[in-house]
Structure 1
């Protein structure tokens, strides 16, 4: 157990005092300024420190985006390649990184690095750096090509971010249109339709079936809106739970890949990400068995992860990767043939990168086609909803006019 030591010492500032304490083998717990033997403290200063502490804690709650990691790794690779030491590079990046949580992690990595740790070992202590990043950095350190490996890692992260943006852009447009469609329907049914319902009830007579259905839906959404909102919330919550439980997630993941429109996009995105990951790991010098394990982890789909783990087990027994990939239905036959060619020629990482490029190209075409097709479909969908509501209102009016004539 350590011993708590208290005392006073003259220093230029707190940073200078902390540096002296560490040089004496002491770990500073608390440092306060004193004048004439009395601690200097003001209510305003204490409040400012408290607010600053809370602000720092809130900043640490934020996540570290792939884009921030890519910028950090790219800058670190440039600095190391120019001849700067790792410690000096990390010290500069710690101060200029905009993401507070990443800045704190860089600072912790620098402290461990100054204490004699390797960069990969120091990064492994922080959750912000994935096992894949740690493995590639470790391979670069062991091979003496850290700057080259960091450049490859930065390129990999940049491509992953570009892929994420493609998938996001494919989902954003239809989601926004559907949201406004539902909003328009809600306004029509809950605010406009009830006014016509009062008029038609005073007129008497039997309402058309379409009008009756719309009025019933309007009454339900206006009086029992909480039931509709609860049903939607329950549906999403149920999907979340099914996606979290180990026993049900495989079925959910299979269903995701079989969805009519988004299933193919999701599969191509997963394949592009997985193949790019494996290519980067192999290129960095990570053992193939470890690379396949990490690739399965980043797949984010149990069906695809299971296929990579099956390839790993077969490779551990000496089976070629391409031959095992042919047996996995999740991989197109062309992918298995390209992996086989890569193994036979000794350029596996190049073939894996080409496979990833092919999937990304297919994804681009799929997204562009989907956007061009969805645009008129969604317009027709929204127009159809408005037309049904308008028709349900005009039918009784037309019926009443015909009766009068």
Structure 2
């Protein structure tokens, strides 16, 4: 029977149900052909229905069940071997039930790995979606807001703004391309048969995941190999079947190596010791149990016990994996949230901090400073700007003058350590308060403070006080 890609895909999940239903029907006393008729009637998948009808025709033509399953080309060699052994020994139903149990164990192990990875995958996926939403829709708007502020922005904010501008202009191309690239990367690293060894290398070198993968493979090795041998399948055939079942290349190579060595007449002990880095594949404790049970003739029983023991360990490790990944994922999420928050809050904080230095309206036009001489009728104009005014005319202040703080629109005026808007803020003074004038630099006036020595204020908001 010719099996294409789509037929193999459509029958992948229903093969287990077919064997389980066949075992139950044969146990109830129904003959083989009638059992196939019943299964074909209940099968919903068109692909699986086609396979069941094909096998029924083969059986009606005189083929055995194992030959019909082999001709369908959708069942693995070890399943066909078990069915064939059951036909020869008269234990077909028992072997079918053993296959069902084995498949249930495999599905349970896969489900444990999937459940352990579901939470981190969900959190990371949600984080990617939220990040794309922020980058595509929110950042471009923030960019226009911050651009209107004539202040030097923090580097985090500048990076965020440039990213927002870029995505605002090219996001409809970049984001779909990025999603496609990520999907292809996951496919080729973890799924595609020829390149998935890269993903396996990553898993097998990540401490916690490595332990989980190892426990799953040892559980599968013990339970499947033990049951195949108990059913009467030769050790070499069982090992080759195990190599066909596993998807981890490191274990696949090891099982094939064991099969070759055992077929040459070597024991498990010798086969294990001649393989490089065996301890990275199987713990020494498991190896010692296998060697001892091989000598005592109880290998299949010990293998099943190992499989059950490591199945329990797999369940415990999968729970611990989720527990350990939760804080790590929270750190990653909070790092992303914190970066965006800092990029937005830092410039806002800077603006609020400088608000006392910035007038709420346009500053008055520069006026010519008039220097009062000893003769009141003589006034000497000077080109330098002054900060203090008296009756609408700017006057030159001296060290004996008192200046009054003018209204700023925010009910305070920042006093800075140096004559610069970026300098440290020493304190704040209120409109109407009076302080001793010390000196001035263009745009800034230095005043004497009661407790903190002296500081600089914007010259636009001081004037000579009428009261000394």
Tell me whether the two structures share a fold, i.e. TM-score over 0.5. Answer: yes
Question: Distance in 1 between the 2:300 and 2:166 partners?
Answer: 59
Find 1:173's aligned residue among 115, 119, 130: 119
**Residue in structure 2 matched with residue 375 of structure 1 by the alignment:** 326
Query: Does the CA-based 8 Å contact 2:240-2:256 persist in structure 1?
Result: yes
1:39-90 residue CA offsets vs partner (Å, 9 max, x unmatched):
xxxxxxxxxxxxxxxxxx9995752344x33332223223223332212222
Q: Unpaired segments of 5 or more residues in structure 1?
A: 1-56
> Residues 273-292 of structure 1, C-alpha deviation per residue, up to 9 Å, x if partnerless?
33333223212211111111
1:312 aligns with 2:263: no
Is residue 33–residue 60 contact of structure 2 (8 Å, CA) maintained in 1? yes
* Residue of structure 1 equivalent to 2:444: none
Which residue among 15, 21, 37 is the counterpart of 1:91?
37
C-alpha separation in 1, matches of 2:5 and 2:287:
47
Structure that is richer in helix per residue: 1
Pairing of 1:221-240 with structure 2 (within 5 A): 221-225=167-171, 226-227=173-174, 229-231=176-178, 233-234=180-181, 237=184, 240=187
**What TM-score comes out, normalization by structure 1 length?**
0.78
Give the corresponding residue for 1:321.
Answer: 268
Q: Distance in 1 between matches of 2:144 and 2:36?
A: 71
Instruction: Give the one of 198, 201, 209 matched to 2:144.
Output: 198
Which has more radius of gyration?
Answer: 2
What is the number of residues matched between the two proteins? 347
How far 1:231 moved relative to its partner? 4.9
> Offset of 1:389 from its aligned partner?
0.7
Aligned partner of 1:334 among 285, 290, 297: 285
Confirm or deny that 1:111 pairs with 2:34.
no
Gaps of 5+ in 2: 357-468
Offset at residue 209 of structure 1 (A): 1.2
* Shift in alpha-carbon separation, 1:236–1:120, aligned structure 2, 3 A: same
Q: How far apart, CA to CA, are the structure 2 residues paired with 1:194 and 1:254?
A: 40
Structure 2 equivalent of residue 73 of structure 1 = 19
Greater shift after overlay, 369-378 or 116-125?
Answer: 369-378
| Contact 2:139–2:163 under 8 Å retained in 1 | no
Partners of 1:183 and 1:104 in 2: CA distance: 41
Greater RCO between the two (CA within 8 Å, min separation 6)?
A: 1
* Per-residue deviation, 1:147: 0.9
The CA RMSD measured in Å over matched residues stands at 2.6
* Offset at residue 235 of structure 1 (A): 5.6
Aligned partners of 1:353, 1:338: CA distance in 2, in Å?
Answer: 12
Decide which moves more: 97-106 or 295-304.
97-106
Match of 1:402 among 336, 350, 353: 353
- Superposition deviation, residue 331 in structure 1: 1.4
